[in-house]
Amino acid sequence: PTPSLLILPGDGIGPEVMTEVRKVIDWFGAKRGLSFEVFEDLVGGAAYDAHGTPLTDETMAKAQGVDAVLLGAVGGPAYDTLDFAVKPERGLLRLRKEMDLFANLRPAQCFDALADFSSLKRDVVAGLDIMIVRELTSGIYFGEPRGIIDDNEGGRVGVNTQRYTTDEIRRVARAAFELAKKRGNRVCSMEKANVMESGILWREEVQWVHDNEYPEVELSHMYADAGAMQLVRAPKQFDVIVTDNLFGDLLSDAAAMLTGSLGMLPSASLGAPMENGRPKALYEPVHGSAPDIAGQGKANPSACILSFAMALRYSFDRGDEATRLERAVETVLAQGVRTADLMQAEGGSPASTSDMGDAVIAALEAS
């Protein structure tokens, strides 16, 4: 059967960058014989404006039925005063929750042409290609008990609980080992087993999955604080990093700054395998709806285009075509094509969103 894709452009620059992804999808259909059944629907503020809810039940059902969902971005100042229950991000949270997307994949890849944009020295980051796998549906952001309670002496206590089950740890570990097999065959697991019970369990269960199911993949363990240091000191030592929700939140944001612009960063969130063996999957750029530049043709579509490349690799088993697309983006950067976010203060006139998309298509043509 033809693989299916649900496109949810969302708000702000979401629809602008998604227009460029559409060009890419059409190119793969026309030139590489890779056809998709593509559906498109509303999410976030756009869905609220049309239906009074940031994600309709129909859209949710559609998301459950396709092979992959590709989302632009949600939110914007027009929706900031809405009730919590209908805020744009609730649409995204509902997708993640109901699809049970427990593994958040955040690649940090530094294209040579952009190495000078990194917060670090060129030598440290040029050619960097690591993948952080963050557990997304459990841990301290969800654990019970939680709340602000009275301490019975006139004071208050803020409580959150870090809680991980064996199954929760094993399934995200499996996701990391599977990824490593398609990459550099190395996983580094990060926790704080020195001071946290959940860290001890985390280390034991990741080791268990390794020993029983993936003995051929190289596994190491690191305390997350030391990992943060190593990520900045010598990030190229890593291939796949797997860690919990809290540490992953921090480590993946830090890793993002190794690579330069928010406009370049893709992500994926994966869940359990469906009947066809493919994982439930949502792909989206890391950036938001960028209201400050929305509607001006300034947005960099690369993050969303690279998110589609991840879909090719992880949902559609076309790692070869994913690499072709990533190389095309790299070629365009090497040619000096730059959206405004990728330009130093005084450099020439920037490429527009559609210039960048067209350049990627031209590079694909030449590939």
Asked if 264 and 303 touch (Cβ cutoff 8 Å), the reply is: yes
Straight-line distance from the first to the last Cα atom of the chain, in angstroms, rounded to the nearest whole number: 27
- Catalytic residue among 41, 67, 192, 239, which? 192
Q: Is 141 a catalytic residue?
A: yes
Task: Decide: is 284 part of the binding site for Mg ion (CB under 5 A).
Answer: no
Element of type H or E holding 147: strand 143-150
Q: How far is the CB of 212 from Mg ion (least distance, A)?
A: 32
Neighbours of 95 (CB within 10 A): 24
- Catalytic residue among 49, 116, 211, 225, which? 225
37 binds, among ligand NAI, Mg ion, none (CB under 5 to 8 A by kind): none
Residue whose C-alpha is closest to residue 179's, from 232, 235, 107: 107
Is 298 labelled as part of a ligand binding site?
A: yes
Residue whose C-alpha is closest to residue 268's, from 307, 239, 225, 241: 307
Q: How far is the CB of 290 from ligand NAI (least distance, A)?
A: 4
The nearer residue to ligand NAI, 5 or 299, going by C-beta atoms, is 299
Q: Which residue in this structure is represented by tokens 């043509």? A: 365
Residue from 57, 80, 253, 292 touching Mg ion (CB under 5 A): that is: 253
Task: Decide: is 244 part of the binding site for Mg ion (CB under 5 A).
Answer: no
Is 15 labelled as part of a ligand binding site?
A: no
Q: Is 249 a catalytic residue?
A: yes
Task: Decide: is 211 part of the binding site for Mg ion (CB under 5 A).
Answer: no
Footprint of ligand NAI on this chain (CB under 6 A)? 13, 73-76, 89, 92, 262-263, 284, 287-293, 299-300, 303, 341
Residue 169's region, left for phi above 0, alpha for psi from -120 to 50, else beta, is: alpha
Task: Decide: is 135 part of the binding site for Mg ion (CB under 5 A).
Answer: no
288 binds, among ligand NAI, Mg ion, none (CB under 5 to 8 A by kind): ligand NAI
Is 228 labelled as part of a ligand binding site?
A: no
- Alpha helix stretches (DSSP H) within the chain: 14-32, 45-51, 57-65, 88-98, 122-125, 166-182, 197-213, 224-233, 245-256, 302-314, 319-334, 353-365
Alpha-carbon distances of 237 from 187, 234, 286, rounded to whole Å: 11, 6, 23
Q: Is 192 a catalytic residue?
A: yes
The b-or-e profile of 119-141 (16+ CB within 10 A means b, else e) is ebeeebbbebbbbbbbbbbbbbe
Residue from 11, 168, 249, 341 touching Mg ion (CB under 5 A): that is: 249
241/176 Cα distance (integer angstroms): 8
245/142 Cα distance (integer angstroms): 10
The nearer residue to ligand NAI, 180 or 351, going by C-beta atoms, is 351
Q: How far is the CB of 162 from ligand NAI (least distance, A)?
A: 24
Is 319 labelled as part of a ligand binding site?
A: no
The nearer residue to ligand NAI, 92 or 130, going by C-beta atoms, is 92
Q: How far is the CB of 106 from Mg ion (least distance, A)?
A: 10
Binding site for NAD(+), by residue number, is: 76-89, 288-300
Binding site for substrate, by residue number, is: 96, 106, 134, 225
Give catalytic residues, as residue numbers: 141, 192, 225, 249, 253
